[in-house]
Structure 1
Amino acid sequence: MNNFQLLEYAAWGISAVIGLWMLFDMIKTNIKYSEQTLLSSKEGEIEDVLVIDPTHQGGHR
């Protein structure tokens, strides 16, 4: 087995890990937020839902 084959296996391993991470994050996000919030296209609507500290509403304006 040469170095290029090792690099190929490493690349496949890294891509599998990233794919699983993306799947986990997708499931976690779908559980945490409603479909209405995830599909909203109205500017500021998502930010208002995600504000943890009300004193920071409005961003850096």
Structure 2
Amino acid sequence: MDIWTILEYAAWALSFVFGALMLYDMVRIDTTYDNDLLTSSREGEIEAAAERHVI
């Protein structure tokens, strides 16, 4: 095996690990928080209210 083949296998292994971590995080977040909380825009409303300037 040359160095490029080893690097290719390492890249595939890293992509698998990152994919598994993202899947684990998705399941953990989905079971921890309610869907209404995750899709709310309350933070955006708070930031928009803080940016209003009254002259």
**TM-score, scaled to structure 1:** 0.69
Q: Does 1:12 align with 2:12?
A: yes
Q: Does 1:37 align with 2:37?
A: yes
Q: Structure 1: where are the runs of 5+ without partners?
A: 45-61
Larger radius of gyration: 2
Q: Displacement, 1:42?
A: 1.6
Measured in 2, the distance between the counterparts of 1:41 and 1:13 equals: 37
Q: Displacement, 1:7?
A: 0.2
Measured in 1, the distance between the counterparts of 2:41 and 2:11 equals: 36
Q: Larger helix proportion, structure 1 or 2?
A: 2
4+ residue runs of structure 1 moved beyond 4 angstroms? none
Larger RCO (alpha carbons 8 Å, 6+ apart): 1
Q: Displacement, 1:43?
A: 1.5
- Please give the per-residue CA displacement for 1:18-54, whole angstroms capped at 9, x wherever unaligned: 000000000000000000001011227xxxxxxxxxx
Percent identity of equivalent pairs:
45
**TM-score, scaled to structure 2:** 0.76
The total of aligned residue pairs comes to 45
Measured in 2, the distance between the counterparts of 1:10 and 1:28 equals: 27
